[in-house]
Structure 1
Amino acid sequence: MKPSAHAVEDPVTPAHPRPDRRPALILANLGTPEAPTAKRVRPFLREFLTDRRVVETHPALWRPVLEGVVLTIRPARSARKYATIWRAGHETSHSGSPLMHHTERQGELLASALGDAVQVRIAMRYGKPALRGVMGELMEAGCRRIAILPAYPQYSASSQGTVIDEAARFILASRDQPELRTIRSFPGAPAYIEALATAIESHWERHGRPDPAAGGRLLLSFHSIPRAMHDAGDPYRSECERTAALLAARLAAPEGLIRTTFQSVFGPARWIGPATIDTVAELGAAGCPSVDVICPGFMADCLETLEEIDQLNRRAFTSAGGGDFHYIPWGNDAPGCVAALAEQARAALSGWVD
């Protein structure tokens, strides 16, 4: 039977939405508990620490330790730390999380920078809004072109890798699959390096530049990864070193001023180093007059920057005899950070928008 010359399109139904021609950009970050309480921290930690990209120990060995020890002790400890950084007036709200607050703001600013031709959403790998849930909402609305921008400048299987894994799981479970793009990493991207340099130079204009001859230092503190991951071929350390080299060149830093360190070690395994907290303690004990610390791998302030660096590492430095300690924020809604994200977003969307 020949089709009618006057055949009409299938009706638009919830199962067959009219395609939205605008591509979507998802800004993805790690995630955060919904509140600074043990009750809310525990499920977040469980989801995070059961990810085989994060803890590569076989589940048969790891799960008893996780359930019997880690999730018994750590939620209350972590909750107390989160409580020290939760935004005032939002103590019981998800938006009280600095990471959530800053990521939401970055999403708004990215939407403004990219224009109405792109729909911008945020997602978290762990917790809410869940990445697969956001992808599903976009598909239900008719979107068929999705670009994912993980907010991690340096690649690691435990950061970008697990975001891409999660997107792939959505694809595997989908009958109607979207066209998908991801940004792998951007450790040497011009706008990213410039954002870091601008924040540092602005800080130096206000507080003075550390004098390496007198013992002053600028630390570039990156999140660490287990040594076993590095030895297995994870390129993370080399990408951190690339960022450090390009930033040092951009700042015309004299020899001895900049040191690259690693933070946020967890558990008894060996991690790549030197450890930031050991470094600041050693500098303090040596009578270092001033240390500046910037965290190039964190595009939004969070527990690791606001509590670990600006509180714990500050105390380690000053109690050991050090002088002035400065944490240099550079991300969040700073124009340079947003420009760095927009640079990557435009690359991911190339050919999809004019």
Structure 2
Amino acid sequence: MVLFNLGGPDAPESVRPFLVNLFSDPAILRVPGFVRPWLAKLIAWRRTKPAQENYAVLGGKSPLRELTEEQGRNLEAVLREREPGTEWRSFVAMRYWHPMSDETVSAVQSWGADEVLLVPLYPQFSTTTTGSSITAWNDACAKAGLRVPTTALCCFHADEGYARSTARMVQEAYDKARAELPAEVPLRILFSAHGLPESIVKAGDPYQWQVESTVAAVIEHLTIPNLDSLVCYQSRVTPQKWIGPSTEDEIERAAKEKVAILISPIAFVSEHSETLVELDVEYREEADHLGIPGYFRVPAQNSDQGFILALADLVQRTRGSGRALCSFAGARQCPKQHGDCPHARAKVEQGAVQDAKLAKAA
């Protein structure tokens, strides 16, 4: 099992090269290739100091690698207990900092894997996250000559087990927050996901639709009368128009309406800078400044037992699917208009290969 995640700097001096890697990704910075390296370095230079300040709050580094490795060990333990005849091993492939795909491919080769499952720790598919990670993995495999049967799980945004385990954490946090608030103070849940430029979504990326599907699936498992909730998006980093509403705007609106808020980081399954700093420090300070009557947050899953069990179920179903590309339900889940769904892309690529073969035969 190869667990995909974003990655994060492991020391203050790693912040700038991490940012250069991030903005050098054509899936992130969608500009002509000859411009990208220079623009990536410029953006990284401008963002290094504020990013270092954020990571200083976390002790100078991101906790994401350690948390992801812990998730992998817990996942291994569950699967070994369920399938004692199968030798399971988890590896971590980070997209923008170590261990990155080339390092992980080498480790997988050294271990002698005869089958690989690609498991993104992004519940919702986006070309900027899971799509980019799969591309990087495939490129690293081609370069190293790793050729073993491989199955990729593309998404688990509305998986029953994932939705149920997430809802339990939301419900527990809601009940705790409700108990701390005066009865007359309303409480609103903000399901906050990382944002994307609107242009990427309009081009066919299914991320926003999948985020909204996640929230709908989670809400089905909540037992909250007259639930007040909405989906919003955080972490805007460029001046172009991003999908909304923004989390900051919703915090401001809640303050005006004298409503307490509970933020659920619905697109993250591990604590990192965007939860521990952006949500817990920056947004909390803004909420306090605006006079919100209560500010609470649902923790990320990390190695929550319910989440790990749901992930194990997903891994077993994916392995038994007989597909090279598998959603949580097997086949494609995204509506037709989302042309950047990986199943749609795979179909187009397969058609192109068949056309090339027919042309060659003719």
Q: Do the structures match in fold with TM over 0.5? A: yes
Partner of 2:33: 59
1:85 aligns with 2:50: no
Question: What are the ranges of 5 or more consecutive residues in structure 1 without an aligned counterpart?
Answer: 1-24
Shift of 1:252: 4.2
**Cα distance between partner residues in 1 of 2:142 and 2:39:** 31
Partner of 2:16: 42
Partner of 1:31: 7
Task: Indicate conservation of the 8 Å contact 1:284/1:318, yes or no.
Answer: no
- Point out the structure with max Rg over C-alpha: 1
Q: Which residue identity is paired with 1:195?
A: S
Query: Cα deviation per residue 1:258-311 (whole Å; 9 max; x = unaligned)?
Result: 1100111111111101001111122113322x2100112111000011111111
**Cα distance between partner residues in 2 of 1:213 and 1:247:** 26
Q: 1:162 to 1:213 in 2, by over 3 A?
A: farther
Percent sequence identity over aligned pairs: 25
Q: 1:176 to 1:80 in 2, by over 3 A?
A: closer
Partner of 1:163: 133
Task: Indicate conservation of the 8 Å contact 2:173/2:297, yes or no.
Answer: no
**Cα distance between partner residues in 1 of 2:96 and 2:132:** 10
TM-score scaled by length of structure 2: 0.82
Q: 1:140 to 1:101 in 2, by over 3 A?
A: closer
Partner of 1:11: none
1:196 aligns with 2:166: yes
Shift of 1:255: 4.9
Task: Indicate conservation of the 8 Å contact 2:178/2:187, yes or no.
Answer: no
Q: After TM superposition, where is structure 1 displaced by more than 6 Å over at least 4 residues in a row?
A: 209-213
- How many residues of Structure 1 are paired with residues of Structure 2 in the alignment? 316
SS of the aligned residue for 2:266 comes to coil
Query: Cα deviation per residue 1:47-69 (whole Å; 9 max; x = unaligned)?
Result: 1110001111223444433323x
**Cα distance between partner residues in 1 of 2:158 and 2:303:** 20
**Cα distance between partner residues in 1 of 2:219 and 2:241:** 28
Q: 1:228 to 1:351 in 2, by over 3 A?
A: closer
Shift of 1:34: 1.3
TM-score scaled by length of structure 1: 0.84
SS of the aligned residue for 1:208 comes to helix
Shift of 1:318: 1.8
Question: What are the ranges of 5 or more consecutive residues in structure 2 without an aligned counterpart?
Answer: 323-362
Q: 1:283 to 1:205 in 2, by over 3 A?
A: closer
Of the structure 1 ranges 126-135 and 145-154, higher mean CA displacement relative to structure 2 is found in 126-135
Q: 1:74 to 1:179 in 2, by over 3 A?
A: same
**Cα distance between partner residues in 2 of 1:286 and 1:351:** 49
Partner of 1:112: 77
Task: Indicate conservation of the 8 Å contact 2:232/2:245, yes or no.
Answer: yes
**Cα distance between partner residues in 2 of 1:29 and 1:41:** 17
Aligned pairs for 1:1-354 within 5 A: 25-35=1-11, 37=12, 39-68=13-42, 70-86=43-59, 97-115=62-80, 117-208=87-178, 214-255=185-226, 257-288=228-259, 290-350=260-320
Task: Indicate conservation of the 8 Å contact 2:195/2:234, yes or no.
Answer: yes
Shift of 1:232: 0.2
